[in-house]
Amino acid sequence: MNTSELLARDSFIERNARSRAKALLDEGSMTELVGPFDRITSPWLAMQQLVVQADDGVVVAKGTLEGLPTVVLAIEGAFQGGSMGEVGGAKIAGALELAAEDNRTGVPTQAAILFETGGVRLQEANLGLAAIAEIQAAIVDLRRYRPVIGISAGTVGCYGGMSIAAGLCSYLVLTGEARLGLNGPQVIEQEAGVAEFDSRNRPLIWSLTGGAQRHQSGLADLCVEDDTAIMRATVARLFRQGVPKQHRSARYADFLASLAQLDASVPATAQQVRAIYTRGVQS
C-alpha cells in the first residue's frame, strides 16, 4: 500500500463501535436499540465509584444488510476494555434471543457480533459470566436458522468467555491487528509463571494468537485488510453463504484427531500449530 492509498483508506479499526455497526448495515437503515438516551447504565460500576457509560459499552444496531433483516452487536473496546457487564451482556444476549424468535415466526433476522473485549468485566464478575453463558446459548439457538458472524477487527481483540462465544459463531473474521485467545497473556503469566508465558513478549503473543495465525491454522475463516468496504463485502458474502454444514464448534472428531499428534512436552510454536491443524482441521 502506498501513501495515497493509505490516506484514502477507510479504516474499520479506527471507527468506534457505533460507527462500525452503521458501516456494516445498508445506508440509512440503522436504528439503535436501548441506546445511550435510554440511559441504562451499570448499577455495579456506580456502586464502586467507577465511571459509567450511557450505553454500557455495547451498541445494538438493527437494520438491513443487502435488504435482509440484520442486527449488529458492537462492543466498544474503549470503554472498560470492552468488558462484559450485566447491562452490556444482556443487550447482546437479549438481541440475539429476539433474532432467533424472529426466525421462528418467519422473519429471517441474522446477526453479526463485533468482538472487542477482554471478556468478563471483573467489577461485575459473576453477572458478566452469567451474561456470557446467555450470549453463548443465544448464538447456538440463532445459528440454526441464519449465520451468526463474529468479527474481531482489533485492536483490543477477543478474550475470556467471549472468545468461547466467538468460537460458537458460524463464521469468524479477523484482521491482522486482532488477537483471539481464552486467557490474556497477563493472566497466564500470573497463574502459570513468566516461564510459561511472558506477557511482555509481544511478537510471541501475535505469532500464536494474532489474526493471521488464527486464520492460517483454521481457527478463523478469514483474515482481512483493515478496510471498511472490504469488511462490509466480506460480511455480506458470508451471510449469502448461509448456515455452514457443520459449525467449527461441532468438529470435535477432527480436533481430537489433530491433537492426538501433538507432543505436549515441548512449548508450542506457531509453525507446529499450522502444520498440525492444516492437515487435520482445514479441509
Partner 1 sequence: MTMYLKQQLEDGVAAAAPVAGTGCRGVRWLAALTGDAQLDGSYCAALHVADATLAGQPARYIAVVPDPHNRFARVRNGEIGLLEGWQLARAVHEVIEADRDAAVKRPIVAVIDVASQAYGRTEEAYGIHQALAGAAGAYAEARLAGHPVIGLIVGSAMSGAFLAHGYQANRLIAFDDPKVMVHAMGKASAARITLRSVEALEQLAASVPPMAYDIRNYASLGLLWRVLSPADPDAPGAADLAMVRQSLEEALADIVASGRSDLAGRQNDGLRQASGKVRELLRQQWQGAAR
Count of residues of this chain found to bind partner 1 when the rule CB under 8 A is applied? 95
Which position among 104, 144, 240, 279 is part of the footprint of partner 1 (CB under 8 A)? 144
Site membership for partner 1, residue 134 (CB under 8 A): yes
Residues 6+ apart with CB under 8 A from 241: 147, 171
| Residue keyed to cell 509481544 | 202
Instruction: Decide: 63 and 57 in contact? Cβ < 8 Å.
Output: no
Site membership for partner 1, residue 210 (CB under 8 A): no
- Is the CB of 14 or the CB of 269 nearer to partner 1? 269
Site membership for partner 1, residue 17 (CB under 8 A): no
- Is the CB of 44 or the CB of 239 nearer to partner 1? 44
Q: Candidates 5-13, 224-232, 233-241, 272-280 — which segment interacts with partner 1 by CB under 8 A?
A: 272-280
70 to 89, contacts with partner 1 by CB under 8 A?
Answer: 86-87, 89
- Is the CB of 8 or the CB of 28 nearer to partner 1? 28
- Other Cβ atoms less than 10 A from the Cβ of 273: the count is 20
Give the 3-state secondary structure of 202-225: HHHHHHHHEHHHHHHCCCCCEEEC
Site membership for partner 1, residue 269 (CB under 8 A): yes
- Is the CB of 78 or the CB of 122 nearer to partner 1? 122
Site membership for partner 1, residue 90 (CB under 8 A): yes
Instruction: Decide: 176 and 223 in contact? Cβ < 8 Å.
Output: yes
Handedness of CA 58, 52, 175, 172 (dihedral sign): negative
- Is the CB of 11 or the CB of 272 nearer to partner 1? 272
Q: Say whether the peptide bond before residue 269 is cis (omega within 30 degrees of 0).
A: no
In whole angstroms, give the CA distance from residue 77 to residue 79.
Answer: 6
Site membership for partner 1, residue 264 (CB under 8 A): yes
Site membership for partner 1, residue 63 (CB under 8 A): yes
One character per residue 150-179, x = contact with partner 1 (rule: CB under 8 A): ----------xx-xxxxxx-----------
Report the nearest approach of partner 1 to the CB of residue 7 (Å). Answer: 34
Site membership for partner 1, residue 65 (CB under 8 A): no
Report the nearest approach of partner 1 to the CB of residue 243 (Å). Answer: 13
One character per residue 222-241, x = contact with partner 1 (rule: CB under 8 A): --------------------
21 to 60, contacts with partner 1 by CB under 8 A?
Answer: 29-31, 33-34, 38, 40, 42-44, 47-48, 60
**Burial per residue of 173-203, b for 16 or more beta-carbon CB atoms within 10 angstroms, e otherwise:** bbbbbbbbbbbbbebbbeeeeeeebeeeeee
Site membership for partner 1, residue 267 (CB under 8 A): yes
Site membership for partner 1, residue 19 (CB under 8 A): no
Distance of CA 282 to the CA centre of its chain: 21
